[in-house]
Structure 1
Amino acid sequence: MKQFVLLFLLLSGFSATSQVLRKRTVKLMGSRFDITIVAPDSLAAEQHIDMVIQEVTRIENLISDWKTDSQISRVNQQAGIAPVRVDPEVFALTERALHFSKITKGAFDISFAAMDRIWKFDGSMTEMPSPEAVKKSVEKVGYRNIVLDRARSTIFLKRKGMKIGFGALGEGYAADRCRDLMKAKGIEAGIVNGSGDMSTWGKQPDGRDWIVGITNPLRNDTLLAIVPLRQSAVVTSGSYEKFVVFNGKRYAHIINPTTGYPATGLCSVTVFGPSAETANGFSTSLMVLGKEAGLKLLKKYPEYRYILITDDGQVFSSPSLNLQTTKL
């Protein structure tokens, strides 16, 4: 689960090049989507926003684990029974997600959908779950029990009761896919922001870069930084709003799918890079891995940059972002 901590800053209206910017907010994939299109006129902009909505809806109908007739739901229904043939698009997304599960050694795991929700972050928890309950909550989670057959384009979950789900990774994929679709349609600039998974292309109508304001997670009425988006995607995962404290220790709502215990150490991770899907995988994984292991992983992917904020307010960022390492 991911908190949206990006404040989006832009200029709207006409520019000297007669390009117009239009923005629409809709609910898709169970989340808020903000769609911004820069086009020669308002009609064209609105028509292309409609196309984006249609594309996200198409993807949702393929991969949602909440829709009983989706391909992923059919995979889950056949867990422990038989492989399920899926479209190449669904297979490829699953393959990439499984790759992320492997490189993070389970810090990211698409089989998290089967996890029992024993942690409550609505104020109702009065004591820690027992170690036995925590262990049981993740007994059906395990990416190693997912079998992919590329030749047959099938997905098989070995254990009955297993489930896979893409969560916010699916929103990142949808944002990337819509960006590519709009570019193919001749739309030279825009933003698709799926609940904080933001994929951008081109520039604002006045020729300036798109920019995002990164919220200070310890004081969410202030900005930590304003960053030009010279790369096309940015994603933030955060845990500063939903957490519990037991014996003086803070437990975030982002759960480690391997251990069943909440992530600790980081309260916000922002990742910049060419793909919102991949940036989402990294931001979620780093929340679970923590600073040391997370940065060790991210160093293997130099096209992605980061801003990490620890529970005690320390800020660490990629040198190329030119942010001062400090304490909030």
Structure 2
Amino acid sequence: MIKIEKSWRAMGTTNRLTLFGTADERAIDDAIHFVNDYEKILTVNRPQSTIMAINQAAGQKPVTVSATVYQLIKRAVYESNQHFGFNVAIGPLVKLWHIGFSDAQVPSHTAIEHARRQIRSDGIVLDDDKLSVYLPQKGMSLDLGAIAKGYIADRLQDYWRAQGHIAGIINFGGNVVLMNDAPNHVSGRWRIGIRNPLVQHGDTIALIETKAMSVVTSGVAERHLVSNGHVYHHIIDPETGYPHDNDLASVTVLSPKSIDGEIETTRLFFNDGPPDNSDYPFGAIFIYRDQSIKLINIQSSDFHIINQSFYIRETMTYGRSNSTK
């Protein structure tokens, strides 16, 4: 089947879009503009955006936003107030470490403690009637981070489906959306690679077969800082102010919605492994630093190891699954 592909830089990563059943490059270019427009609204890496307007007004006044942005922030605040690791108000800590950027540093303990006093998500004031967001303390700042990436991926999939496209792949770095049935396989199932999470830009170590799904991976190798012989990854614990240290190298979540996958990779990474609830609805892949792998709601027959130094330690099936089948 004919297809078109294009890559470009946005959202701090290299993105790649693939559409099947068309040779019209305008369809891809249109999608890139679609993504870029959302990034302009949601980014904190430019002087001007809707999120930056909220941050710049911290401690001064509420900022009225569009219904779309408001609902996304409201979801982010709700998840933050569950205190499982994700915190939409973590901006001051992220800026302090700035891991993944040229000015990344290990902050002083005093600076970390000061930043931690500015990341109280339960202090964010939301007004459903006015669609306004208020950060009550000067120095507070929102950082939607990966949750924004997941949201944009979901919106692009909706956009493509509304246009009637047969199938497509949205690849935002560690966030991949597989839209509709795979056109090159009779089963309609996709085959997607899982990278070695122990090294930056690692080779594929396994393949997973799945139906149309979002596949989101969060790992410690892609963005990190090396200082005085110590490696600091980018997944900052809002409770301590430091990168969260455990035995995991990466967590991959398979879910119908990409925004859920982004939230769940964070939840599971901070959980230090498989979920505690017996009715966990998503598929998950845990790769540990010792190269062992745990599969949750994924059949071992759908997971094909290529690099034999990695091995499946355990396969677990929970009561309610919405994963690969």
Query: By the TM > 0.5 criterion, same fold?
Result: yes
Displacement after TM superposition at 1:109 (Å):
0.5
Say if 2:268 is the partner of 1:290: no
Task: Tell me, yes or no, if the aligned pair for 1:235 and 1:276 is still in contact at 8 Å.
Answer: yes
The alignment covers a number of residue pairs equal to 299
Say if 2:197 is the partner of 1:210: no
Q: Which piece of structure 1 moves more, 227-236 or 271-280?
A: 227-236
Task: Find the counterpart in structure 1 of residue 234 from structure 2.
Answer: 253
- Out of 221, 225, 243, the residue aligned to residue 262 of structure 1 is 243
Deviations, residues 225-248 of structure 1 (Å, cap 9, x unaligned): 21123142001000035365989x
Say if 2:186 is the partner of 1:195: no
Displacement after TM superposition at 1:162 (Å):
0.5
Displacement after TM superposition at 1:131 (Å):
4.0
How does 1:230-245 map onto structure 2 within 5 Å? 230-240=211-221, 242=224
Alpha-carbon distance in 2 for matches of 1:82, 1:154: 10
Alpha-carbon distance in 2 for matches of 1:120, 1:59: 23
Task: Tell me, yes or no, if the aligned pair for 1:209 and 1:230 is still in contact at 8 Å.
Answer: yes
Distance verdict in 2 for CA 1:57–1:317, change over 3 Å: same
- Out of 42, 45, 48, the residue aligned to residue 66 of structure 1 is 45
Higher relative contact order (CA 8 A, sep 6+): 1
Distance verdict in 2 for CA 1:29–1:263, change over 3 Å: same
Q: Which amino acid aligns with 1:89?
A: T
Say if 2:10 is the partner of 1:28: yes
Distance verdict in 2 for CA 1:186–1:273, change over 3 Å: same
**Structure 2 spans left out of the alignment, 5+ residues:** 304-310, 315-325
Task: Find the counterpart in structure 2 of residue 3 from structure 1.
Answer: none
Query: 3-state DSSP class of the match of 1:34?
Result: strand
Displacement after TM superposition at 1:221 (Å):
5.2
- Normalised TM-score (structure 1): 0.81
Say if 2:74 is the partner of 1:95: yes
Task: Find the counterpart in structure 1 of residue 88 from structure 2.
Answer: 110
Q: Which amino acid aligns with 1:185?
A: Q
- Out of 115, 122, 128, the residue aligned to residue 137 of structure 1 is 115
Q: Which piece of structure 1 moves more, 30-39 or 172-181?
A: 30-39
Across the aligned residues of Structure 1 and Structure 2, the Cα RMSD in angstroms comes to 2.8
Task: Find the counterpart in structure 2 of residue 49 from structure 1.
Answer: 28
Task: Tell me, yes or no, if the aligned pair for 2:104 and 2:225 is still in contact at 8 Å.
Answer: no
- Normalised TM-score (structure 2): 0.82
Q: Which amino acid aligns with 1:52?
A: A
Query: 3-state DSSP class of the match of 1:49?
Result: helix
